[in-house]
Amino acid sequence: MKRFSLLLVACVAALSAHAIYLNGVDYRIDTLSMFPAGPGATMFELRMNKTAGAGGRLDCWLLTVDTDHPNISIEQVLGSGKLIGTERPSSMAKRKSTDTKVYFAGTNGDFFVTQGDVGRPIGLTIANNEYCYTPNNNRLIGAVDEQFHGLLGTLGRFSGKLVLADTTLNIHHVNYKREENQLVLYNQHNAATTLTNAYGTELLIELLPGNEWHTSATLQAKITDKQVNIGSMAIPAGQAVLSGHGTMADMLNTLNIGDTVTLNLQLKIDDQVVNASNCVGGDNYAMILNNGEVEQSNFWNEKHPRTAFGASENGHVLYFLVVDGRGVSEGCTTKVLAEILQHFGAYKAVNWDGGGSSCMYLNPFGPMNNGSDGQERACGNGMFVVANVPGPDTTVAAIAARNPICILPRYGMAAPSFLGYNQYGLIVNTEVEGVVLSCDSSVGEILPDGSFFATGANGGVLHATLGNSTTDLTVRIIDSAPISIRLDSVLRDHIHPYTIEVQAKINGSPVNLHAGALSWESLQPEVATVSDLGAVIGVSNGYADIIGTLGEFADTIRVHVEMPEHHEQMWSDFREPARWELKASSGFNPTLVVPDDTLAPVDLQFTYKSARGPYIRLGNTEPLYSLPDTVRVVFRTDAVVEKITVGIRPCNLTASASYVSTQTFTQGERTIVDISINDLVGNDPAIFPLFFDYLRFPIETTTTEGQHHIWLDGISLIYKDITDPVSALDHLPAGARVKKLQDGQVIITIAGRTYNAQGQRID
């Protein structure tokens, strides 16, 4: 983890400006995540947006690698493990990984053949000091030497010679097809055999002790087998085959099993002899970044998904970069690709295969980017960072934040995500639980749920601890950020204040804010007011727009105020039958009969007949007034009813919540059913207004056939925090009935006599 911190310094310096200049346009860099990817490696998830004008978003994944880390290697992997064939980068890494070699990060590699020999890389290809393919073409080189330092160039040239006692033969190329009069060197990267025809001679060779395969070396080998006019000779691991045709076959025929031969192999990159341990070819344009300078003319000028490989000036730091395209992220030219790498410290860089092939892989996450095919594409090869470890280990020995820089407005809240690493620096847990946060009181406070609340004005350091492992996060306070109020509108009264729920978008991710972080204003204070802490309260019936501002950004919430006047208010007395849709079992013929007596209940008449699941249902889709705590249904019936069902629908849902009564109903007696809104649907402000959906009476089959009645006193709403003025209503004897008329007048009936709300008899 020490090497991570050293490498991080340069990258954080590049990020500190928060801006980048790409092809003459200013972009803002948002670092969505930044964490150790494995030993010696760091992963950056970056989002770049134009600072002016529409569009221009680039989603980027940058992997930086310190090649001086003692436990890593850089290795090229062929798709399906052979020259011809394709495989997804994640599959390549998983196939190659063992308990002691973990291919933990990498990208797709070279352009490859898509017809015929599908998957064969187009450029020079080397794996673990052995040539995989040596085409004679003008393609860029993205390679590493035997210390895994970067070797990047515009041209790679292979030359090989077979030295015999009295002559020297040119080796035309390594692997792939043997043409007329050619001598070809085949190894295990070609396939299990040479795949040649029967018209030639093939010699199986094995390096003598003290010799090892290198891309530039003089090697001594012994002939261990010879086949004439057979073809497709088997290639054991670590050995090779010299295969000749025509005149070259004639020369090989002079050799026998047991003879010793000399191989002179040489690789030049831009006329310099090198030993490249692993190599992936690039395109046939100029290097996109060469000696610190971005190529200005000879580049791909179309916007597409891209993959690039780069190195620092001394080659000790490698850069793998993937930029998404053909979607929300618009992709980029190879010039912009180079400018991004240059910004983060690369000195040289080449363009690898892009488009749907672009893939950034990280174990244990898999593909990190969003490929333009909609899924990971099988490719010809890839380049990977490999951890060489003693064995498997899943114990968390260290932790690191997904992003060590916590950017918040003041009064913002954050619950950082932490990764767990084993003793070798490999990620073994992608969501570590139990991490304890702490900080100085001048920075903020830790909330009861364990999250961080940034109460300080100047930021500082946030400490994270898990057992003996600790890590620090930098808290940076900003004055402005895009904000979003959770609700577009909210229903309120004058009793229940509502603290507006706000999020800010920081580096593309939502962050919860305390409403006190914003400046607030009510445009209609006569309807609703708002405090400095974002608490809204109703003043009078109507609508008010509340505006919250954080720096240069603002958002609005509309507040609808409905103020109940009484503790209990009638919502419907069923005296408007048109408001209700009646449904019932076949033959019931339900009818709402409204009596002339305004104090008498409405009579729901129906004819009971034997039926399967007999019922009567009254439907309604009107909103309930304000914020009731209880919905009360009052009725009596001469039918047998054991339960009723009431459906109430929150405004943010398409289906209603069903309340099923559990109380006992006595035939012919007046019954009150109280439905707690909190118990039924909760009290989230987003659910209001509530809509009354239906009232359903299942009729028991023990009911006698014939005419029956359900007398409906009404549906009322109870507001527990509303207190009526002192009146006769506060001292009602048992059996009293209260009804609010359309004009607002309250009528009380006691023992057949009628009174007003002041207790005066009016009949």
Query: What is d(CA 162, CA 353) in angstroms, rounded to the nearest whole number?
Result: 34
For 326-389, where are the E strands, in sequence order?
348-352, 360-362, 366-367, 381-388
The per-residue pLDDT for 598 is 81
Distances (CA, A) of 418 to 302, 433, 466, 673: 38, 8, 10, 51
Cα–Cα distance for residue pair 310/316, rounded to 1 Å: 11
pLDDT recorded at residue 350: 98
C-alpha dihedral (9, 13, 15, 19), degrees to nearest 10: -170
pLDDT of residue 7: 46
Query: 483, 556 in Cβ contact below 8 A?
Result: no
* Distance of alpha carbon 94 from alpha carbon 105, whole angstroms: 11
pLDDT at 253: 97
Query: DSSP characters for 384-432?
Result: EEEEE-SS------EEEES-SEEEEETTEEE---EEEE-TTS-EEESS-
Residues 194 and 84: beta-carbon distance below 8 Å: no
10-residue averages of pLDDT along the chain (763 residues): 43 58 92 95 95 86 98 97 97 98 98 97 98 96 98 97 95 96 98 97 98 98 98 96 98 97 98 97 97 97 97 98 96 98 98 98 97 96 98 97 92 94 98 97 95 94 96 94 94 96 87 92 97 95 97 96 94 94 96 91 95 94 96 95 96 94 90 96 96 96 95 95 66 61 68 61 65
In sequence order, the 6+-apart residues with CB closer than 8 A to the CB of 61 are 43, 44, 45, 46, 321, 322, 360, 368, 369
- Report yes or no: 676 and 630 within 8 Å, Cβ to Cβ: yes
Closest C-alpha among 17, 24, 51, 16 to residue 294 = 24
What pLDDT sits at residue 662? 86
The pTM for the full model equals 0.79
* Contact between residue 459 and residue 444 where contact means Cβ atoms under 8 Å apart: no
CA distance 258 to 643: 98
pLDDT of residue 391: 97
HSE of 63, CA atoms in CB hemisphere, 13 A:
29
